[in-house]
Amino acid sequence: MKINTLSQLSKLREDGAAVCQLRESGIGGGSTAEILVGMATCGVAAGGKQTFAALERALRNRGLSHVRLVKVGCIGSCYCEPTIQVNIPGQEPVFYGNVDEDAAIAIVDSHLLKGNVLESNRLQIGYEKAGLNSKGQKKQQRIALRNCGSVDPENIMDYIAFRGYEALGKVLAEGNPEAVVNSIKASGLRGRGGGGFSTGSKWQATAQQPTGEKYIICNADEGDPGAFMDRSILEGDPHSVLEALAIGGYATGANKGIIYIRAEYPLAIERLKIAIVQAEELGLLGKNILGSGFDFTVELRLGAGAFVCGEETALIHSVEGGRGEPTKKPPFPSISGYLKKPTTVNNVETLANIPPIILNGAGWFSGIGTEKSKGTKVFALVGKINNVGLVEVPMGTTLREIVYEIGGGIRNDRDFRAVQTGGPSGGVITKADLDTPIDYESLKEIGSMMGSGGMIVMDDSDCMVNIAKFYLGFTRDESCGKCTPCRIGTKRMHEILERITNGEGVPEDLVKLERLGNTIKISALCGLGQTAPNPVLSTLKYFQDEYKAHVIDHKCSTGSCKGLLRYRISEEACTGCRACVKVCPVNCIHLANKPAYRIDSAVCTRCGACLAACKFDAVIVE
Amino acid sequence: METVKITINDIELRVPKGRTILEAAKMIDIQIPTLCYLNMEGFHIANQTSSCRVCLVEVVGRAALVPSCSEKVTEGMVIRTDSAKAVAARRMSVELLLSNHPKECLTCQKNLECELQSLAQRLGITDIGFEGEMMNYEIDHSSLSLVKNPNKCIMCRRCETMCNEVQTCGILSAISRGFDAYVGPAFHLDMVDTSCTFCGQCVAVCPTGALTEVNNVRDVVDALNDPSKHVVAQVAPAIRVAIGEMFDMDPGTITTGQLATSLRRLGFDGVFDTDFAADLTILEEASELVHRIKHGGRLPILTSCCPAWVRFFEHQFPDLLDVPSTCKSPQMMMGTIVKTYYAEKLNIDPKDLVVVSIMPCLAKKAEAARMEMDVDSMHNVDLVLSTREFGAMLKEAGTNFAHLPSSDFDSILGESTGAAVIFGTTGGVIEAAVRTAYEWLTGEVLKNVNFEQLRGLEGIRSATVKIGDMDLNIGIAHELGNARKLLEEIRQGKSHYHAIEIMACPGGCIGGGGQPYHHGDMEIIRKRQEAIYREDAGKTKRKSHENQEVLKLYEEYLGEPYGEMAHKLLHTKYTAKDRI
Amino acid sequence: METTKSTAMDFSKETLKALDDYIESLDDKQGLLIHILHKAQELFGYLPQDLQLYIARKLDIPAAKVFGVVSFYSFFAQEKRGKHNVSICMGTACFVQGAERVYDALRSALGVEAGGTSEDGLFTLNAVRCIGACGLAPVALIDDKVFGHLSEEKIKDIIKEYREGMQDEDQYAESAV
Ligand SMILES: Cc1cc2nc3c(=O)[nH]c(=O)nc-3n(C[C@H](O)[C@H](O)[C@H](O)COP(=O)(O)O)c2cc1C
Ligand code: SF4
Ligand code: SF4
Ligand code: SF4
Ligand code: SF4
Ligand code: SF4
Ligand code: SF4
Ligand code: SF4
Ligand code: SF4
Ligand code: FES
Ligand code: FES
Ligand code: FES
């Protein structure tokens, strides 16, 4: 079947209206109950497949085979995966978390059979769903993630039911590419891939190039370790990206879209492939889309494990089949990109915002957020936080709201230490800045950056020097090696941090770190090197005392830096049982003051074996 | 021409649009150091990786510094090349490079010719604040031509540009990533196991000692010190216009006479000119051309005196081995004649003969050992020195080269014509061949021997030369990338040429991989070319078949050009090789 | 000295055919080098030199280029890998939840560093970045299976289970012969 006109598309949407209503509010949602099961990578990893199978069995055994089981993407509540949503016509949808096999059976028994919500697993989602949950002021607002968890990503009809491809239809019907660019510009949408450049302006730059071969590329490399917003969108709502690419292609004059996706995301790749086939079958991709005369195809290109390939020029070289080495800008890809042709590169989340902007208008979007940062931002909230998960909040939300209200505060009631935003390119935000409204400019001001949306929460057991070393180790490993400051500079910075965390640091090392860091920032060729020193510079700034403790007193207050630990046996507590002596791999425990033993610190490798072996708590670590 | 107004270090100026900051600064004599940058516009050779970060300058209003070597000027740009920020960053780049570099200048082949070294000197770097781990790759001594020391590689990528873009050999690539990255061949293979042509163009542009020639000076000195050996030298055409540069003489100074004298003083027993063999080559090659034309043989004929080019077609066009001429190169013809004719004449056992070649070329080192060249299972050339090595040998001996008196090369293999000298530049071999073929084919005397249409430095040139009633279509290519284009035409059956000359190096042998370093200055190569034509113009004999000693050689020993004996001694064969 | 290494492929004809067919099916062969390498690794398990050379010749591009690409991307393995791929996530979320300790435990349990294969040929250890299951941090993948909320003890037990499971399988295989 091919859709040739806008009205055919509307007809399909109307056919799906019931499904949509059932999932959004329960009201007017047809007659069939359904259970949505979160089956993104995260859900599957947590046991989603088993949950699905358990539900299937339970439904069958209880004669409830008419209840539809639907695989959906994830709702971002990582801390209580697997999650499901039970939709019964005429009733408000109910979410459940931590749905293992037992819970799945219990939910079928209680909720579907008896109509009693299983309160023990009930999950209150933190965002607005149209017509639902709107009683309380919710902190979250879902635009990019709007369909994640609501639509079956492998079924284009679901997407169409949720107004999918309507924006593309609208744009093609209006037939004014320039107006599309202007509207995106007016919306104030800025790139969510890290740079924060105006998406409309970028589109304009490509659009203004003479007509001819042009490309639009979706950057789905998502290399920031600990960030998974883009994966979630691609796994939960792949069509939104395809639709946006087509809109962008139309606006900029490109007839070919490319999605560059990391190979580490097999499920997302699979779902994108399915989505492309389905869209082509319906004629929503391909030749003469919706009878408009506009041709547009989308192709997938795989990464192969290189963080730097997220950088747009490196990405383009990788798409061309080469080493992912960045090249100097200018020229920018919008002038000379893939195959040296004008190319727009947009991030997944950026693109996911496009259809709603087209449908609801630039004014609607620019009404959300702060003066210079419009709309919402998705964050992957992880680390020492209770509600680990994906959150989408309007720009301007404060960190405190995210950490304490949405995130449910610090795990195990420990003390908040810092949040790292911007991943390996970003910096730490400390307690003092918890009330900073999150937007591009404010984060930059306090030495961090928006980045792609990783938000790592750390508590008082995390050593900031060690964290800085972790990030530097990452950038050193991921440096493409092309330019001097990054290739050798990050290596040297990491070596210094290694020395410091091994207890061999000297105060002068801090000066060197700062000098190296500040210089690499302004000398490196691409964004990777230019931001690589940030985690060190920002921790040096905010946790100077901690660094000093490492290089002057040779102490790590959190005990994270093994090289700085000292193992000692308390003479009072030691019974002379020799358990530790037997396990010490370097034989450095000797009889001292009978019966007590003593550790020869110069030889001790700090392996911790004696600590584990001593039944009398006589081994002390300092 | 459209210009833009910019300010550099408070000086306002207008510069043509499209220029880089580096070029603009040069216009007002502001020096900015560079390292990775290489730009030889006339040859279309450009390495603009912007990777070393040694040329960073500040552009007011921008947070990050910009690489002046590749950043183009824009209207109103305000640039500071001397700000503390820029100076410190440039220094840091050099310090970081040095922190990962074996600092063994004293014994480095590149000592005093090394751009990294001179940069360190210029920036006054006396200590490096960031010691740490250094790269530790194996040094590749596998080939007879070049040594590869990855530990001295600074990732400037110039060699890659030369090998992949200019020569299209594709031997080199950046390998690995991050700190481990360096430039090398596939699978860390030894160079000798690759399809490297040993053209040495990577060596010619490498700013450091990461790529250098195999140094054979000690072997030559040992041979000279061995009383049982009769050591003869031959000097290639392109040496005489280049070696002076190593002795502070202007590029393009002709030093033919000094060369003969210097060799004699060093103790060589015979001092010969490869130009003699170049004339010999022409007689063979022109005969082969005439033969192919007259007998409907395969056309076009391709010259075969450049061994890098020979290796190139063996690896890259193994299906076209019947196209090139079968003539040995002049150096090998000379070696053969020395070990046969000369040995006989002087009654010396060829085993006691050591033939040393002074060549502009690194491929000649490998060529000397080609089995296909051997006569009676003996190598005909024993040792090959590059111009640079020979210059170093002279320096070591304390020779005051610039002020040496002139002398002639030794007779029976010392005479040469102007046709031979022009072998040293692109277009020369074919011009020399035409001078002879013309007279042979028409039976007329050629009055104007200057075929201007064959000269120049364009990568591919073509000309039609009227010889009697025949239009001889001639093609000329230098740089192997250009050669590839002509070869592809032949492969596709689209070539309309009768004869093609190919030289691997930019400009031909005057730009050879063993010549004094040009450090990216194309003017030097231009001057060498001018000198070559000057030397030719100054000769009384300018056609190879007028070389009396060559004619005598045929008379006394070889018989007919392209005859049986000539075939045995002066021709060779080619072997198809895999591409890797 | 003049002969370069031949392409002595010791791979089965069918697998090679599958690769050929795949390459034939592509329009932009050289641009899709990375896809071809993915496919080759999927078919052969890793990318030995001969295979890289084979691909280079097939695509008519220099072997150095293929090697430059293979050695750039961490996804490509040039050495034969163990029966199981153990990938420990060293992404930030996992790191702050103690992935380093789990990693240390894995290294000592397998006796190899990242990229290495255990002596018994059963496991190849890799450190990877975020596999998108941060909610379960720290996590590791064994082949396609995700193991979450790991501790030093837990990972050692899992490895032990795999080892024992393998032993059983091997015994079974032997008795079947
Ligand atoms: C080292 C580095 C890594 C990057 N990684 C990503 C990435 O994984 N995903 C992404 O969308 N953008 C990434 N970017 C940003 C891209 O270069 C580019 O700005 C972005 O894809 C443009 O899309 P946007 O304007 O929609 O943000 C990275 C940049 C750098 C310097
Ligand atoms: S900054 Fe790093 S990643 Fe970027 S080009 Fe330089 S070496 Fe490569
Ligand atoms: S920590 Fe390890 S090395 Fe040190 S004393 Fe205890 S057992 Fe021995
Ligand atoms: S195990 Fe504990 S009590 Fe026993 S000897 Fe060691 S330190 Fe003393
Ligand atoms: S390459 Fe240059 S800097 Fe390095 S050792 Fe040789 S001369 Fe010195
Ligand atoms: S400059 Fe220094 S290293 Fe060189 S010779 Fe003189 S003292 Fe020795
Ligand atoms: S000698 Fe010539 S062919 Fe060989 S690597 Fe160097 S540039 Fe390439
Ligand atoms: S080998 Fe020489 S020319 Fe090649 S990248 Fe290294 S330093 Fe540059
Ligand atoms: S052009 Fe001359 S110097 Fe260059 S490789 Fe050929 S023969 Fe040697
Ligand atoms: S539950 Fe899917 S991203 Fe966390
Ligand atoms: S000379 Fe400009 S970056 Fe190297
Ligand atoms: S950081 Fe380990 S799964 Fe994301």
Which residue matches tokens 């995966």?
A81
In chain A, positions 411-440, which contact chain C (CB-CB < 8 Å)?
A: 420, 423
What does the pLDDT average to over A424-430? 94
> Measuring CA to CA, how many Å separate A473 from each of A314, A447, A469, A490, A493?
20, 20, 6, 8, 9
Chain C contact for B194 (CB, 8 A cutoff): yes
Chain A contact for B63 (CB, 8 A cutoff): yes
- Ligand 4: centre distance to CA A622 (Å): 17
Residue A504 pLDDT > 80, yes or no?
yes
Dump pLDDT digits (tens) for A327-340.
999 999 999 999 99
Specify the pLDDT at position C10: 52
Tell me the C-alpha distance between A604 and B36, whole Å: 48
What does the pLDDT average to over A16-34? 87
Specify the pLDDT at position A134: 38
C contact test, residue of B155, B169, B187 with most C CBs within 10 A: B187
Q: Write out chain C residues lying below 8 Å of A454, CB-based.
A: 92
- Non-local (6+) Cβ contacts of B344 within 8 A are B557
Specify the pLDDT at position B264: 97
B194 vs C57: CB contact, 8 Å cut-off? no
- Residues of B with catalytic function: 285, 288, 305, 325, 364, 367, 372, 509
Dump pLDDT digits (tens) for B19-59.
999 999 999 999 999 999 999 999 999 999 999 999 999 99
Dump pLDDT digits (tens) for B499-508.
999 999 999 9
- Ligand 7: centre distance to CA A127 (Å): 62
- Non-local (6+) Cβ contacts of B10 within 8 A are none
What does the pLDDT average to over A40-61? 94
- Ligand 8: centre distance to CA A483 (Å): 13
Specify the pLDDT at position C22: 97
Dump pLDDT digits (tens) for A176-189.
999 999 999 999 99
Dump pLDDT digits (tens) for A185-212.
999 999 999 889 999 999 999 999 999 9
B187 vs C6: CB contact, 8 Å cut-off? no
In percent, the amount of chain B with pLDDT more than 70 equals 100
Q: Write out chain C residues lying below 8 Å of B185, CB-based.
A: 64
A contact test, residue of B36, B37, B59, B92 with most A CBs within 10 A: B92
C134 vs A302: CB contact, 8 Å cut-off? no
A476 vs B130: CB contact, 8 Å cut-off? no
- Measure in Å the smallest separation between the Cα of B422 and chain C Cα atoms: 31
What does the pLDDT average to over B131-155? 97
Dump pLDDT digits (tens) for B387-440.
999 999 999 999 999 999 999 999 889 999 999 999 999 999 999 999 999 999
Selected residue with higher pLDDT from C152 and C70: C70
Q: Write out chain C residues lying below 8 Å of B170, CB-based.
A: 61-65
Nearest by CB to A380, from C38, C65, C134: name it. C134
Comparing CA positions, the residue from B122, B428, B57, B94 lying closest to residue A485 is B94
B92 vs A523: CB contact, 8 Å cut-off? yes
Residue C5 pLDDT > 50, yes or no?
no
End-to-end CA distance of chain C: 47
Helices A238-252 & A266-281 angle (0-180, nearest 10): 60
Which region holds residue A173: left if phi is over 0, alpha if psi is between -120 and 50, else beta?
A: alpha
B contact test, residue of A308, A309, A327, A487 with most B CBs within 10 A: A487
Residue A29 pLDDT > 80, yes or no?
no
Is the CB of B230 inside a 6 Å radius of any atom of ligand 8? no
Chain C contact for A153 (CB, 8 A cutoff): no
Specify the pLDDT at position A165: 97
Dump pLDDT digits (tens) for C105-131.
999 899 999 889 999 999 999 998 888
Which range has the worst mean pLDDT, A67-71, A444-448, A462-466, B436-440?
Answer: A444-448
Chain A contact for C149 (CB, 8 A cutoff): no
What does the pLDDT average to over A269-288? 98
- Measure in Å the smallest separation between the Cα of B58 and chain A Cα atoms: 10
User: What is the atom index within ligand 4 of the atom nearest the CA of A613?
Assistant: 1
Nearest by CB to C64, from B186, B192, B575: name it. B186
What does the pLDDT average to over B441-457? 93
Predicted ipTM > 0.90: yes
Q: What is the mean pLDDT of chain A?
A: 93
Residue B69 pLDDT > 70, yes or no?
yes
Single pTM value for the model: 0.94
Q: Place C142 in a pLDDT band, splitting at 50, 70 and 90.
A: very high
Specify the pLDDT at position C176: 34
List the residue whose alpha carbon is closest to atom 2 of ligand 9: B509
In percent, the amount of chain B with pLDDT more than 90 equals 96
Which domains, ranges and CATH numbers included, belong to chain B?
3-97 (3.10.20.740), 100-213 (3.30.70.20), 218-570 (3.40.50.1780)
Which domains, ranges and CATH numbers included, belong to chain A?
31-125 (3.40.30.10), 156-364 (3.40.50.11540), 376-459 (3.10.20.600), 464-553 (1.20.1440.230), 566-621 (3.30.70.20)
What does the pLDDT average to over C31-48? 95
- Ligand 11: centre distance to CA B53 (Å): 5
Specify the pLDDT at position B320: 96
| A55, A108 Cβ separation under 8 angstroms | yes
Comparing CA positions, the residue from B442, B483, B175 lying closest to residue B309 is B483
Specify the pLDDT at position B171: 98
- Measure in Å the smallest separation between the Cα of C125 and chain A Cα atoms: 16
Which residues sit with their C-beta closer than 6 Å to ligand 3?
A 567, 583-586, 588-589, 599, 604-610
- At CB < 8 A and 24+ separation, what contacts does A3-6 make? A3/A282, A3/A283, A3/A284, A3/A290, A4/A283, A4/A290, A4/A291, A5/A290, A5/A291, A6/A169, A6/A170, A6/A172, A6/A173, A6/A290
Residue A47 pLDDT > 70, yes or no?
yes
Chain B contact for C64 (CB, 8 A cutoff): yes
Residue A132 pLDDT > 70, yes or no?
no
Residue A568 pLDDT > 60, yes or no?
yes
What does the pLDDT average to over A251-271? 96
B175 vs C68: CB contact, 8 Å cut-off? yes
Specify the pLDDT at position B145: 98
Residue A130 pLDDT > 50, yes or no?
no
Q: CA gyration radius for chain A?
A: 27
